[in-house]
Structure 1
Amino acid sequence: TYLKVLDNCEWLRDMEPNFLAAFLRLQECTLLNICVILVSGVAWDKFYSRSCFETPVNIFFPHYARDELLTLLMLNWYPEVTPEFYESYVKLVLGVCHRYCRSLVELQHIADVNFEKYCSPLEGGKTDASNIKKLWQNIKPYLEASVNGLYLRSASSDVSRILAHCSLAQHDKRVSQLRHRGGSGWVYCE
């Protein structure tokens, strides 16, 4: 048995419909035992055209729990600081952002971008690593700004990609679709 996994397969929507159909019928075309897994944050309805595709098996993945996010974010611990210091930072990031965002990618980006700012009072000797209150006061406005800018980075790159591949009329339709993204994943197996 072979597995073909296409992660972030939203790009298939921009291809000719026959391309998606070929992936969905890969087992028939190759005469091999192949399972195609399409991983997407976009619902199947957004891929589906009037072609006769079989409905795939939908698998919905729940969001990570807060403690799972903490564990995953701790994997990117900086060796220049103690694990306890980095864990306190990650807990602050989750405290501010978890209510609004549960995307590991976005939370990791926020943690990476703001870590240097969190550590800046330590460099000038203004405080020590145990003064969490001072460090919190320093990082709070940056984390709040990061929450306000959530998803703008990926949305703007999606819009740029769309503009490069679509006419203006198609662009308006696709921007509307981007605003209505679902949180589901789906797979197609034969």
Structure 2
Amino acid sequence: MASVLSSLRQSLPCRDIQIDQLYNLFAYKDEPQIESVYVYGGTSSGKSIVVTRILEELQINHALVNLIECYSSKILFETILNSISGHLLDPKNPVPYAKCDKFVDFLNNVQKCNKMKNLDGFVLVLDNAEELRNMEFNLLPCFLRLKELTGISLPVIFISKIIFEKFYTKAGAVEPIKLYFPQYNKNELLEILSLDVEQVKKIVFKHFNKPLEFDINFYKNYLNLFLSVFYRVCRDVSELRYMSRINFIKYCEPVIYNQHSLQDSMALWRNIAPILKQSLEALYLRVDTLKPANSVKEKPMLTLELPFYAKYLLIAAYLASYNPAKDDKKLFMKHHGKQKKKLKDIRAKSKVSERLNTQLGPKPFVFDRLLAIFYSILEEKDNKMGFNNNLLVQISSLIELRLLSSVSDSCVLDGQKYKCNVNYQFIETVSRSVGFEIKKYLSDFSHI
């Protein structure tokens, strides 16, 4: 057992405390099994991989269910039963192990599975458990008491991005064992990313068709420079790993072409610094920044393809983020009445760039305002477009692509608030692709 623990610590760095806690909970089979564990922490903090690796190393049968894929309780129940029973779906005729609409039916089918296949010690892992808040209110309390309700030693591990208190459970609900995964600090990210050195060597060889021999210290020096730019804006390990790899190719170019040596760290830094700052604009977009742009004005990350309505939604979001709400009537209504020029309006025409809204950063806006601007700017193109679920899907896609970000809790009843994450160059290219003149609808340029 000690060798298993040592192997886990080595392969999953900077998570020794969490590994020890989970190991103590599940490694000793002669002790009574716990009912539920609530694992929580920020995005990409190692929650899922630590949980699954420990269960695999301890050879514990388990089922990992991603609740994002289970948008209804019926699909959730059937997915769990398929995993517990080992039932494989036929692609031509995907019939589940059993059809379940209610939690009572789910419990009965779990007990049937237990008779055919002993489920004692089986662990159910519910990833993205915060999605339970969007389902029936009784699901969380029932899963917390699953061992008691089924009479089977069937622990449940919840993996979530939010604290347990945000589930708003009623008094008397069973409290799970809580395990927190903090965000990685800079030194921990450096240690994790430096494990990729051998894979990075292969990437460099594949790109240049020429090997480059360097030691771990050379790669760590690069990662220090890389994190000095990216650490403040991103803590996502997977995204940092991706961006560090593609930018390392640019870092190595002067060495490959014999312009500088491996030891000339200052010259390499001066070469890569502007490239790293430019790469910040492509963060989370996963577009190929190594390909040359079609023109000087068009940057490679601006070639991201979006559906027609998604482009207009993104334009509307940018306008809502960078225009004051008081200017909406003047900018988006055809017959808003005559307005007298005031002294402050005249002075606003000559304000310096530091005071421009487009230079001050995005402001949050409500969902209703986004839709109002969207329909206003789309009116000339498609005046028959009505509100439907497709628009909600497009907004969700923009959030997943990190082009928009939600700045309010999903349980807020008085309207969701969003913020646009793209810069002016990006939105200008998107606007040009649909024939929309963005400057005409920005307060900063309305006087031109």
Interval containing the TM-score (normalised by the shorter chain): 0.5 to 0.7
Counterpart of 1:164 in structure 2 is 393
Q: Secondary structure at the match of 1:58?
A: strand
Q: Name which of 201, 207, 214 aligns with 1:79.
A: 201
Counterpart Cα distance in 2 of 1:133 and 1:118: 12
Q: Name which of 186, 191, 216 aligns with 1:66.
A: 186
Aligned partner letter, 2:178? N
Alignment of 1:97-112 (within 5 A): 97-112=230-245
How much identity, in percent, do the aligned residues show?
A: 39
Counterpart Cα distance in 2 of 1:62 and 1:134: 36
Alignment of 1:107-146 (within 5 A): 107-146=240-279
Give the number of aligned pairs: 166
Counterpart Cα distance in 2 of 1:27 and 1:165: 40
Q: Secondary structure at the match of 1:60?
A: strand
Aligned partner letter, 2:125? V
Q: Secondary structure at the match of 2:201?
A: coil
Aligned partner letter, 1:119? C
Deviates more, 1:40-49 or 1:24-33: 40-49
Structure in which a larger fraction of residues adopt helix? 1
Counterpart Cα distance in 1 of 2:180 and 2:282: 26
Counterpart of 2:22 in structure 1 is none
Q: Secondary structure at the match of 2:182?
A: coil
Q: Tell whether 2:221 aligns with 1:88.
A: yes
* RMSD (Å) for aligned C-alpha atoms: 3.7
Counterpart contact for 1:5–1:37, Cα < 8 Å:
yes
Counterpart contact for 2:145–2:174, Cα < 8 Å:
no
Counterpart contact for 1:63–1:102, Cα < 8 Å:
yes
Counterpart contact for 2:144–2:176, Cα < 8 Å:
no
For structure 1, the 5+ residue unaligned runs are 154-161, 168-173, 181-190
The offset of 1:137, in angstroms, is 1.9
The offset of 1:85, in angstroms, is 2.3
Structure number with higher relative contact order (C-alpha < 8 Å, ≥ 6 residues apart)? 1
Counterpart Cα distance in 2 of 1:165 and 1:4: 32
Counterpart Cα distance in 1 of 2:138 and 2:245: 40
Counterpart contact for 2:125–2:156, Cα < 8 Å:
yes
Counterpart contact for 2:132–2:140, Cα < 8 Å:
yes
Alignment of 1:22-61 (within 5 A): 22-48=142-168, 53-61=173-181
> 1:43-77 deviations in whole A, cap 9, x for unaligned?
33443366974344433333333332222111111
Q: Secondary structure at the match of 1:33?
A: coil
The structure with the larger Rg is 2
Instruction: Compute the TM-score of the two structures, normalised by the length of structure 2.
Output: 0.31
Q: Secondary structure at the match of 1:29?
A: helix
Counterpart Cα distance in 2 of 1:100 and 1:136: 20
> 1:89-147 deviations in whole A, cap 9, x for unaligned?
11212222334444433432331342222223333333232222222122222333445
For structure 2, the 5+ residue unaligned runs are 1-32, 34-120, 203-212, 287-390, 397-405, 411-416, 419-448
Counterpart of 1:176 in structure 2 is 408
Aligned partner letter, 1:110? M
Structure 1 residues 130 and 166: alpha-carbon distance in aligned structure 2, compared to 1, 3 A threshold: closer
Deviates more, 1:133-142 or 1:9-18: 9-18
Structure 1 residues 138 and 166: alpha-carbon distance in aligned structure 2, compared to 1, 3 A threshold: closer
